[in-house]
Amino acid sequence: MLLHFILCLFTFPSTMALGTLQGSNSSAMNNIAKPGCQSHCGNITVPYPFGIGKDTGCSLYVWFHLNCNTSFDPPKLFLASDVEIYNISDSELRIFTSVDYRCYDQYGNVTNYYDSNRNGLYAFTLSGKNKFTVIGCDDLAVINGSGNGCYGSCTESSNVTAGECSGNGCCQTSITNGLHGYSVRFLTLQSHIDVLTINDCGYAFLGEENTFRFGGASDLSHSTDLIRRVESSVLVVLDWEIGQGYSCSEATECKENSECHGAADGGGYHCRCNQGYEGNPYLDQGCQGQFLV
């Protein structure tokens, strides 16, 4: 009888909570976003210190406010106007990559090109999980200002191999730590004149290691297929942190039952719930104890 009474006490509020959360099952669902703010954009979870909307007070800093565009179905989440977000975790942000390219004609003139300038990612750092990939038979591409780059070469008679990206039609290189954005610079030796029949364009993009597989000869000659495939499947990993330029001793953002952790690159920090607690350490009552049965 007494046990039944206690069970009722506990089940009543939790069914009420289930009702208002439309089937979401965890108490942690209550503390993703700041109270009164949107916690999702389509199926993407947006945890504070990120927040949706300009001047809504939903994010910690202006550069953590995101734009959820509902004219897409499902809605898409953007960092700047054209940087689409895939997901957000407690220290990383994944964005869709963008392929830069240069196409040439038989005179070696550029006929078509695209430059995605992603230099404005001030609060974010390009993760060391990314690689810079160049595809082409006569293309040296570099991340502007960093010295990171490589040369993809091949000759008309040569045989590029699908799945291999070590210089023959495809090359890949690591990037310098600490970059806050990037733009790409292209160079060629012969302006593709000698290789035009098998490859008229050079391509370059950044993306998480091991998420791109070189398709071989077809990737050298089918630009729209390659670009579509890469831009829908390759993600760039950004590290995020708060308090850039400050350290944990100056941190005021970590709420109860959480602790400050300095970022690996020295600038900024993260908050993390203490052991035995879960939730969002940047919100009041964000870290909730885990009750063991």
Ligand X SMILES: *[C@@H]1O[C@H](CO)[C@@H](O)[C@H](O)[C@H]1NC(C)=O
Question: Considering beta carbons, is residue 171 or 238 the nearer one to ligand X?
Answer: 238
In whole angstroms, give the CA distance from residue 174 to residue 133: 9
Determine, following the binding rule CB under 6 A, whether residue 144 of this chain makes contact with ligand X. Answer: yes
Position among 27, 38, 146, 183 found at the interface with ligand X (CB under 6 A): 183
The distance of closest approach from Cβ of residue 157 to ligand X in the complex, given in angstroms and rounded to an integer, is: 5
Whether the Cβ atoms of residue 220 and residue 248 lie closer than 8 Å to each other: no
Q: Which of residues 220-249 bind ligand X (CB under 6 A)?
A: none
| CB < 8 Å & 24+ apart, contacts of 101-104 | 101/201, 101/202, 101/203, 101/204, 101/223, 101/227, 102/139, 102/186, 102/188, 102/201, 102/202, 103/200, 103/201, 103/223, 104/188, 104/191, 104/192, 104/193, 104/196, 104/200, 104/201
Whether the Cβ atoms of residue 131 and residue 142 lie closer than 8 Å to each other: no
Q: Which of residues 150-179 bind ligand X (CB under 6 A)?
A: 157-159
Question: Considering beta carbons, is residue 87 or 247 the nearer one to ligand X?
Answer: 87
Q: What are the residues facing 182 on neighbouring strands?
A: 118
Whether the Cβ atoms of residue 58 and residue 37 lie closer than 8 Å to each other: yes
> Which of 169, 235, 250 minimizes the C-alpha distance to 203?
169
The distance of closest approach from Cβ of residue 78 to ligand X in the complex, given in angstroms and rounded to an integer, is: 7
Using only C-alpha atoms, the chain has a radius of gyration, in whole angstroms, of 24
Determine, following the binding rule CB under 6 A, whether residue 210 of this chain makes contact with ligand X. Answer: no
Position among 48, 49, 85, 94 found at the interface with ligand X (CB under 6 A): 94
Select the span of 33-41, 109-117, 249-257, 269-277 touching ligand X (CB under 6 A): 109-117
Determine, following the binding rule CB under 6 A, whether residue 69 of this chain makes contact with ligand X. Answer: yes
Question: Considering beta carbons, is residue 173 or 183 the nearer one to ligand X?
Answer: 183
Contacts of 36 (CB under 8 A, 6+ apart): 58
Question: Considering beta carbons, is residue 155 or 290 the nearer one to ligand X?
Answer: 155
Phi/psi region, residue 174 (left: phi>0; alpha: psi -120 to 50; beta: rest), is beta
252-264 burial by CB neighbour count: b if 16+ within 10 A, else e? ebbbebbbbbbbe
The distance of closest approach from Cβ of residue 126 to ligand X in the complex, given in angstroms and rounded to an integer, is: 15
Determine, following the binding rule CB under 6 A, whether residue 120 of this chain makes contact with ligand X. Answer: no
Position among 15, 22, 71, 252 found at the interface with ligand X (CB under 6 A): 71
Position among 24, 27, 38, 67 found at the interface with ligand X (CB under 6 A): 67
Determine, following the binding rule CB under 6 A, whether residue 146 of this chain makes contact with ligand X. Answer: no
**Residues 9-48: x where in contact with ligand X by CB under 6 A, - otherwise, as a string:** ----------------------------------xx----
Judged by the rule CB under 6 A, the positions of this chain that interact with ligand X are 43-44, 67, 69, 71, 74, 87, 89, 94, 107, 109, 115, 117, 144-145, 157-159, 183, 185
